[in-house]
Amino acid sequence: MKRSAQVNVRLSPADMNLLRKAGKTLYPGLQVSNSTLVLTLARQRAQEILAERKK
């Protein structure tokens, strides 16, 4: 998927560690960049939220 929007975020070390732990739990053994991890988790949660609203 080609990205056409740029987003810059600043996370605390605790928040980044939390996201890394979640990523390792969901995708064990997968090596990804920090940006890929954040975008993947954000997109997954966004889809869950929208699916809940449709119910």
CA distance 9 to 21: 18
Look up residue 22 and give its two tokens: 């979640």
Sign of CA dihedral 33, 35, 40, 6: negative
CA distance 35 to 44: 14
Tell me what the mean pLDDT of segment 2-29 comes to.
Answer: 89
Look up residue 3 and give its two tokens: 């990205």
Between 4 and 3, residue with greater pLDDT:
4
The predicted model scores a pTM of 0.74
Tell me what the mean pLDDT of segment 26-34 comes to.
Answer: 88
